[in-house]
């Protein structure tokens, strides 16, 4: 049994269910029983397990971030957003690089779904800014966006805020700059988190859970430090305690 303050902080921890199928994801969920964290479902799991598994997570009482990073013409994204909203997820995302018309279309898709079903609640619509896997060399030399990655991220965040989105996915290092540019209510969702003393894996510029929260992250995304732990529940509780400072 965890107490109320811990439970509120647990809702800011998003566990990345990076698994090839629902059986593997269910095994982790079983081990995390009693922790009211957010569950992040990405492409690998969703393309295999589909909407039914998202409904299963919702019926277990979890908040769900559907991380599918849509990027298409506005009309197609509007339809996609409408279908996602009907699933009852709590958060989903689109690429800011699709432009403001595309992001507005995502919000319209949500509104259409809500208008047709009063039982649905409005999911947060979040933008992907510049992928952390693209460095300045890739962004400047290949994609053709000039300037620093930090500037590009803030520009994308402002574009997303102007289009009516609720926040962005970003590095924890960028959260404070995004809040300065877009306001404190504009959410920041930050991966690249590693508890003090744990392996960095393939993440390069990591922050601890405590540093991320004190630096302005609203939600932290954690995968392997929990999914690969010998005791995932103990690892998750330790992370929530680090978040509380
Ligand atoms: O295992 P780890 O904690 O590194 O997992 C981080 C999660 O956050 C993964 O699901 C990864 O796809 C996601 N992510 C990320 N960096 C981004 C966007 C998403 O690591 N820029």
- Dump pLDDT digits (tens) for 103-149: 999 999 999 999 999 999 999 999 999 998 889 999 999 999 999 99
CB 21 less than 6 A from any atom of ligand 1: no
Residue 200: both structure tokens together: 């960095």
For the CA of 171, the nearest atom of ligand 1: 21
For the CA of 133, the nearest atom of ligand 1: 21
Residue of 43, 223, 227 to mutate, ligand 1, most atoms within 8 A of C-beta: 223
CB 189 less than 6 A from any atom of ligand 1: no
Query: What is the rounded CA–CA span in Å between residue 208 and residue 152?
Result: 24
CA of 195 to the centre of ligand 1 (A): 14
Q: Which residue is closest in CA terms to ligand 1's atom 5?
A: 223
Q: What digits encode the pLDDT tens for the residues 22-66?
A: 999 999 999 999 999 999 999 999 999 999 999 999 999 999 999
Predicted local confidence at residue 158, as pLDDT: 98
pLDDT category at 3 given cuts 50, 70, 90 is confident
Q: Which residue is closest in CA terms to ligand 1's atom 6?
A: 223
List Cβ<8 Å contacts ≥24 apart for 149-157: 150/174, 150/177, 153/129, 153/177, 153/178, 154/178, 154/181, 156/96, 156/97, 156/127, 156/129, 156/130, 157/96, 157/127, 157/129, 157/181, 157/182, 157/186
For the CA of 18, the nearest atom of ligand 1: 10
Q: Which residue is closest in CA terms to ligand 1's atom 14?
A: 191
Predicted local confidence at residue 94, as pLDDT: 98
For the CA of 170, the nearest atom of ligand 1: 21
pLDDT category at 1 given cuts 50, 70, 90 is low
| Active site positions, annotated | 69
pLDDT category at 74 given cuts 50, 70, 90 is very high
CB 28 less than 6 A from any atom of ligand 1: no
CA of 221 to the centre of ligand 1 (A): 7
């Amino acid at each position: 049994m965890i107490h109320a303050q811990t439970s509120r902080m647990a809702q800011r921890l998003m566990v990345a269910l990076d698994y090839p199928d629902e059986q593997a994801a269910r095994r982790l969920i079983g081990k995390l029983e009693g922790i009211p964290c957010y569950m992040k479902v990405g492409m690998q799991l969703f393309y295999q397990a589909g909407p039914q598994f998202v409904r299963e997570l919702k019926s277990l009482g979890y908040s769900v971030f559907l991380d599918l990073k849509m990027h298409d013409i506005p009309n197609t994204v509007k339809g996609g957003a409408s279908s996602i909203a009907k699933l009852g997820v709590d958060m989903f995302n689109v690429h800011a690089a699709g432009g403001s018309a595309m992001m507005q279309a995502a919000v319209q898709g949500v509104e259409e779904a809500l208008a047709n079903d009063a039982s649905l609640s409005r999911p947060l619509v979040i933008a992907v800014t510049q992928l952390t896997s693209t460095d300045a060399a890739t962004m400047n030399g290949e994609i053709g966006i000039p300037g620093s990655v930090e500037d590009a991220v803030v520009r994308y965040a402002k574009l997303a805020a102007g289009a009516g989105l609720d926040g962005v996915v970003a590095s924890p290092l960028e959260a404070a700059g995004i809040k300065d540019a877009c306001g404190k209510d504009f959410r920041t969702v930050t991966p690249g988190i590693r508890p003090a003393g744990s392996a960095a894996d393939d993440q390069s510029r990591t922050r601890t859970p405590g540093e991320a929260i004190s630096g302005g992250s609203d939600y932290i995304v954690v995968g392997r430090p929990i999914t690969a732990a010998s005791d995932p529940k103990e690892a998750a509780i330790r992370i929530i305690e680090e978040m509380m400072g």
